[in-house]
Amino acid sequence: MPIVALDHYNICTADLAVARRFYTEVVGLHDGERPPFGRPGAWMYVGTQAILHISTARIPGTAKSDAFDHVAFRAEGLAQTRARLDDHGIRYQSFAVPDRELVQVFFRDPDGAEIELIFSGTEAAAAIAEGVTSDATLNRTA
């Protein structure tokens, strides 16, 4: 059974409207079609793929843990992303990946889930040249 791709991840939220707004306005996903499951929720898309499913509560009787750490997206437009986060008053931290031409930007959604955006290429190289340093301690506080 080989894994061929990431299909989606699911988060639970206390406020569906706030989560939808955050993931569209801040992260840049778009809200799209969702099957009629009989309970509130949303599917957020990149292109034609619903990569984020948002639920309003855990399904009763499931033994879910809170072991979720973060989700990461490849992204473009580092300067624009930082400006968008600043415009929304969202705290974030940027780190260079050691020995790679990659920059990570970490922040949290309104329910506390951590999001990582990964930037590469010339925009990452420029940020590293400007002094973005690596996260050697793994002590993110965003």
Sign of the dihedral defined by the CA atoms of residues 89, 95, 96, 97, in that order:
negative
* Exposed / middle / buried, residue 86 (Cβ in 10 Å: 0-12, 13-18, 19+): exposed
* Tens digit of each residue's pLDDT (9 = 90 or more) over 65-103: 565 668 888 889 999 999 999 999 999 999 888 778 888
Query: Per-10-residue mean pLDDT for the chain, 142 residues long?
Result: 73 92 96 88 94 79 62 90 95 87 90 88 87 61 44
**Angle between the 78-87 and 121-129 helix axes, to the nearest 10 degrees?**
70
Amino acid 67: pLDDT: 57
Amino acid 48: pLDDT: 94
Amino acid 16: pLDDT: 94
Amino acid 142: pLDDT: 42
CA distance 69 to 65: 11
Amino acid 70: pLDDT: 81
Amino acid 58: pLDDT: 62
Amino acid 66: pLDDT: 64
